[in-house]
Amino acid sequence: MKLPKTIMLLGSGELGKEFVIAAQRFGNTVIAVDRYENAPAMQVADISEVISMLDGDALERLVKQHRPDYIVPEIEAIRTTKLLDLERQGFTVIPTAAATNYTMNRDRIRDLAAGELGVRTAKYAYASSLEELQTVSQDIGFPNVVKPVMSSSGKGQSVVNHSDEVSRAWTYAVEGARGDSQKVIVEEFVEFEVEITLLTVRQWNGETLFCPPIAHRQERGDYQESWQPAGISNAQLTQAQAIAEKVTAALGGAGIFGVEFFITRDEAIFSELSPRPHDTGMVTLVSQNLNEFELHLRAILGLPIPTIELVSPGASSVILADRNADRVTFEGVDEALAEPNTDVRLFGKQTTRPYRRMGVALATAETAQQARDIANRAASRVRLVYD
């Protein structure tokens, strides 16, 4: 393995920012791409480019201009059919172009898991119009969950408790979709003990590795806090690992996958999969010997990963905006950092909107619950000042 390499990052949010930092520690050159200027990862990358990644021709021109060793998607809003074409031309897409094409749309990955691989999932159906959604919602039953097939960070997701709420859920899902799809998925509401993300690391020439599972709590379909250890049983973990390995093996390639599960008393139920670092995995910045961004990089570059260890129980709690603004500053960071074993990461986003994630507070402690309490307290002390 010769370093440095040139990496093109498609999508430049907070997860991409941490990945760029990890990549540059090995001297690599990173081109950060997004649809708007000064996105978080662009602030630390070597080169930044602004295009719509749904414009396949613009994407191809950019790739051929920079000729990266690796193309690393970070978001869903990419013309993934163009990535398939670029891979055929000899470019390396992480984890693979086919995997990216599958997982950018919930319908494809769900059909792969449930239909082709026989993995246990929640009961589900699709709809491409309000009328279809009303019909399949009755078939699934209430409550159910409606989501765009293409979105991120919980955008467009809602719980539907009654038939009167279907129309509102349709509008919300279409407005929250990424890309140009108006297809939604409706799935049964699963009564679970905890939701987890099982970060699964595929290597080019090595065994599949797993991080200790990360528990998380969501609101509006977006995570509010995450913590390790997740507190699930060995039997539940073994089942989740077997499913994660089966699904990621079918997708192939190398890199980290965020595989989400509902953990019930009796089983692990596959929910979703992202072929890249996961937002709930921000906790690994303080809880593990190698965080998820370092693991993603090592897997991509083919560098050794001798062990993945939980060095301390840890937690992450989000810092959210509550309104639209063109500029924001922060107060209370000093108060948040006053307690030992806390950290704050502000992402550098220039504008705000309601519920936009602007940062996280991180904490370690003797137990996961103590870490959660500290992280939540620290996050509450950071105050956004809008201009």
Whole-angstrom CA distances from 274 to 179, 266, 271, 359, 369 are 16, 25, 11, 21, 27
Active site (annotated) includes residue 12: no
Rounded CA separation 274/200 (Å): 10
Active site residue 279: yes
- Which DSSP category does 1 fall into? -
Q: DSSP readout, 2-43?
A: -S--EEEEE--SHHHHHHHHHHHTTT-EEEEEESSTT-GGGG
Angle between helices 130-140 and 166-176 (to 10 degrees): 120
Instruction: Pick the catalytic residue from 272, 335, 343, 373.
Output: 272
- Tell me which DSSP letter residue 352 carries: B
* Whole-model pTM over 0.75: yes
Exposure on the CB side of residue 52, measured as CA atoms within 13 A: 7
- Determine the topology of domain 194-386 in CATH: D-amino Acid Aminotransferase; Chain A, domain 1 (3.30.470)
pLDDT number for residue 180: 61
In whole angstroms, give the CA distance from residue 140 to residue 161: 12
357 is catalytic: yes
Q: Where in the chain is the domain with CATH 3.30.1490.20?
A: 123-188
For helices 80-88 and 56-66, the axis angle rounded to 10 degrees is: 40
Tens place of pLDDT per residue across the chain (387 aa): 899 999 999 999 999 999 999 999 999 999 999 999 999 999 999 999 999 999 999 999 999 999 999 999 998 889 999 999 999 999 999 999 999 988 877 778 888 999 999 999 999 999 999 999 999 999 999 999 998 887 665 678 889 999 999 999 999 998 877 666 688 999 999 999 999 999 999 999 999 999 999 999 998 878 999 999 999 999 999 999 999 999 999 999 999 999 999 999 989 999 989 999 999 999 999 999 999 999 999 999 999 999 999 999 999 999 999 999 999 999 999 999 998 999 999 999 999 999 999 999 999 999 999 999 999 999 999 999 998
Task: Look up tokens 């992450």; give the residue.
Answer: 316
Six-digit token pair at 129? 């119009």
CA 123 to CA 189: how far, in whole Å?
A: 9
| Active-site annotation holds for 154 | yes
Of 103, 280, 284, 317, which residue is the catalytic one? 280
Q: CATH 3.40.50.20 region(s) of the chain?
A: 6-93
CA distance 263 to 21: 33
**Among 279, 292, 298, 352, the one annotated catalytic:** 279
Q: Contact, 256 vs 299, CB < 8 A?
A: yes
Fold (topology level) of 6-93 = Rossmann fold (3.40.50)
DSSP-based three-state secondary structure for 50: strand
Q: Outline where the chain has alpha helix (H).
A: 14-24, 56-66, 80-88, 97-103, 106-110, 130-140, 166-176, 234-251, 284-287, 292-301, 333-336, 368-381
**Which burial class, exposed, middle or buried, applies to 27 when counting CB atoms under 10 A from its CB (0-12, 13-18, 19+)?**
exposed
Tokens linked to 292: 């998820």
Q: Among this protein's residues, is 158 annotated catalytic? A: no
Q: Which of 79, 357, 372, 381 is catalytic?
A: 357
Calpha distance 297→295 (Å, rounded): 5
DSSP code of residue 91:
P
SS3 state at 257: strand
Residues written for the chain: 387
Q: Is 151 a catalytic residue?
A: no
- Residue 155: the pLDDT is 76
Q: Among residues 151, 152, 226, 248, which one is catalytic?
A: 152
The class level of CATH for 123-188 reads: alpha beta
